[in-house]
Structure 1
Amino acid sequence: MQGTLSLGSLLILGLAWILQAGPVLQDALIPVQENFDLGRFMGKWYELAVVSTCPYYMQDKRENPVVVALDLQQVAPDGNFTMTSARFRNGTCKHRTTNYRLTDTPGRFFHHVARFGADVDSFVVHSNYDEYAMMLLLSTEKPSGIKTSKIKLYSRSLSVSAAVLEYFKRLVREHGLSDDAIIMNQNKVTY
């Protein structure tokens, strides 16, 4: 009986350790842009392509696959930044501002989406700053604990080269998603 209790206690302790270590190990496996430079990342971007494990997000994007104009501005004195997005929807241009908090890892940021009660962990996976950036966003809704991921392709212009698009598709596949699921946003309005 005592051996059963000890084994059960060890299993519970082991499971608790795995659950606590899980996110840390998962984050350690996410490659962030080497030598990330926040200053060079700021400025105007366009969201050209997206893919997500969230069915509601994907349905919304399929119904209205428009290019989203983004403006990233650093906020003094704390160094955090804001992202203002502009998208054409239902005949009007809608703006939304999101506040991003920096982390100790350059190229990794946090923000909260109150509408869904979601904490979002964002990673700049790769960028050459002048042409494109690839982002991985991991969300956890509260209190449900539902986890989703998004991969986004940003560009400084309204198009990217075939090589950049192929690199984006490879990143999508590396994260277990299909090329067929990628939504290519369309430029329906001039910004």
Structure 2
Amino acid sequence: MSRSWSGRSRRRYIPPSPRSPWRKLGDYGLTVLLLGLLILLAVRLDRMETRKTEGVAVVADGDSITLGGERIRMRGIDAPEYSQTCRRDGADYPCGKLSRQSLVRLIAGRPVSCIGWQRDRYGRLLGDCQAGGVDLNRSQVAAGWAVAYGDFETEEAVARVGKAGIWAGTFDQPQTWRASHNGQLAERKHGSLASVGDALREIFRFW
């Protein structure tokens, strides 16, 4: 009995059928759509311009300053409000004022530079700030005069263990204190993950 060299039946080649006009039109439309999305993406990325501002800082509280006419909310941290009190050794003390004093000491009269592109609900620039090479955001958390708010969790953990600043006693989280005293809604945390979310929202926001 004879067998084919491959032992398998041969399949006949069937050329693909030509694309219909509607299929071609759909392919062209998809190409135009993709090009449009790429153009939109380029425009949105261009609008996400990083802003840098520097100058003599006017310190409002432990995480808010003004440079020239630009109001800055320090990114990734949350400090006690200026009028907030905390409790230590059985007595209340003005932790909000002490937090502000801590930031003033860190700045030490030197020019401050802040960089960022996001803004909070009040239109303030969410900035990473430095003075004389000192990272002010990170240092406020490390000193225990601000809590991590989307970033600097390691610094907060060290401050908590060392009972630095507000960690030496008890306190309301700043956002909780604001809600109970000023009726302010809690703002979103503005760390790395929030930055990614804001970038995506900006890219796909048409207005």
Same fold (TM over 0.5): no
| Larger relative contact order (Cα-Cα within 8 Å, sequence gap ≥ 6) | 1
- What TM-score do you get using the length of structure 2 for normalisation? 0.27
Q: What TM-score do the two structures reach when normalised by structure 1? A: 0.29
More strand by share: 1
